[in-house]
Amino acid sequence: MAYLIESDSGTWEVVIGLEVHAQVSSRAKLFSGSPTDFGAKPNTQVSLVDAAMPGMLPVINEICVEQAVRTGLGLNAQINLHSVFERKNYFYADLPQGYQISQYQYPIVGEGTVVLDMPDGTTREIGIERLHMEQDAGKSMHDQDPKRSFIDLNRAGVCLMEIVSKPDLRSPEEAGIYVRKLRSIMRYLGSCDGNMEQGSLRADVNVSVRLQGETDFRTRAEIKNVNSVRFIMQAIEVEATRQVDVWESGDEVVQETRLFDPNRSETRSMRAKEFAHDYRYFPDPDLLPLDLDQTYVDDIAAKLPELPDAKKDRFIVDYGLSAYDAGVLVADKETALFFEEAAEGRNAKLAVNWLTTNLFGALNAAGKEITESPISATHLGGLLDLLADGTISSRIAKDVFEEMFQTSRDPAAIIEEKGLKQITDTGAIEAAVDAAIISNPEQADQVRDGNDKAIGWFVGQVMKATQGKANPQAVNELLQTRLKG
């Protein structure tokens, strides 16, 4: 699913690699005991280590290491039993130490693979180059004072996992699907909450273009700190178009770091792209190499939850779902759990339809997530049972559903209170059918003359007369008998 740009020189394709920065779910930072809570007042979660006070030494947080290993296993990646923390030297006001503790030559996780479910039903394998741990920098605030910038060090020292893809992505859409899949995997694992609006998941986007048929990569530009899937996709489109224009004009793309401005729909140059030697990496003398035991890794692997791909396969086999329906359900852990509870022992396809059409639609309109649903999985399952045993019709079920969404009440209680049980008494239905036929002789003659579509009109009349309570199948059968013999 390549993203192609036509020009005078020919057809250009875009080549994309992503460096996703995921904040590790841990109560303390990577090398200190400071908390990592989001939204705290500036500079209230800063230890002497985070502030780089003289003589303060880092002490590694084992939970962060475990989360990195869990994520690597979830990405089907090689876990490196030997890894090294190194100092990445650069100066910026929100980096108190004057260097960032990261991993360069020996990361904790090596090559892996992420499988993307494409909209057309195919799959795409995207290679993972590496995952390494590093500490986050603080935050510069430029909008607090007209003349000064302020620094908040609450994020300084928070553990990040940088997940580097291979340059395998070929379109903005693929990039969006890839980030969503990464986020889904990490949420299943509990290693990152994936809340992009809070900054716990963001991406550096590497973009280059080349003419179709070329095998070598051209110069790339890096777009820094993009914090939403929509912006990632937009930034790729904008930057790819810019680079094609540069090449078409006879100039060359410069390797640099750029900023995406969504308001102006443009990328702007920030600085020349640094190379590894510019950072003067060297092993951190205050931290020993990280040497893991294979038993430690195996114990973590044995406790991994069922991940999206495995759950999707199980939904297809156990519930008879299509690959598309299963993919939609497992993309979000909470949705998958909701479905399983609602569908247990019931018609799974019917459960999917009510969940993805009715409930998703209502939640979207209300701006709510599945975890905030006024309708519980138990109550949705109860509604499906009442449909299945003929207590209510599909028409009445929609009204009951709306009442459930507004009140969070049990469907059986709503039906009892409002007298919504389906009419299954043959005599009552016969009376309504006969009344509809007598009142509409012209339409009755049309059915007798072979216009079968007119029967549907009669069904509607009977349902209207019974306030939607008549059993539609019984109504249809009686009409067929009365009008066509």
Domain segments of the chain: what residues? 4-300, 306-418, 426-484
Print burial letters for 407-440: b (CB count within 10 Å at least 16), e (below 16): eebebbebbeeeebebbeeeeebeebbeebbeeb
Query: In terms of Cα–Cα distance, which of 209, 38, 264, 16 is closest to 116?
Result: 16
Residue 298 DSSP SS3: helix
Average pLDDT score over the chain: 92
370 band by pLDDT with thresholds 50, 70 and 90: very high
Please state the separation of Cα 111 from the chain's center in Å.
Answer: 23
Residue 275 has pLDDT above 90, yes or no: no
440 band by pLDDT with thresholds 50, 70 and 90: confident
**Contact assessment for residue 193 and residue 227, using Cβ atoms and an 8 Å cutoff:** no
Question: The tokens of 211 are what?
Answer: 């003419």
> What would the mean pLDDT of 196-203 be, rounded to a whole number?
93
Question: The tokens of 306 are what?
Answer: 């069922």
Query: In terms of Cα–Cα distance, which of 410, 417, 398 is closest to 468?
Result: 398
84 band by pLDDT with thresholds 50, 70 and 90: very high
**Contact assessment for residue 218 and residue 253, using Cβ atoms and an 8 Å cutoff:** yes
Residue 152 has pLDDT above 60, yes or no: yes
Please state the separation of Cα 79 from the chain's center in Å.
Answer: 25
Residue 181 has pLDDT above 80, yes or no: yes
Q: How far apart are CA 359 and CA 363, in angstroms?
A: 6
The pLDDT, as a whole number, for residue 10 is: 93
Torsion sign over Cα 387, 391, 393, 395:
negative
Q: Read out DSSP for 241-290? A: HHHHHHHHTT-----EEEEEETTTTEEEEEEEPP-GGGGT-EE-TTS--E
The pLDDT, as a whole number, for residue 351 is: 97
* Domain covering 426-484 assigned CATH 1.25.10.10 in the classification: no
State the SS3 of 132-146: EEEECCCEEECCCCC
452 band by pLDDT with thresholds 50, 70 and 90: low
CA distances from 28 to 50, 84, 138, 249 (A): 12, 21, 15, 51
Residue 425 has pLDDT above 60, yes or no: no
Residue 463 DSSP SS3: helix
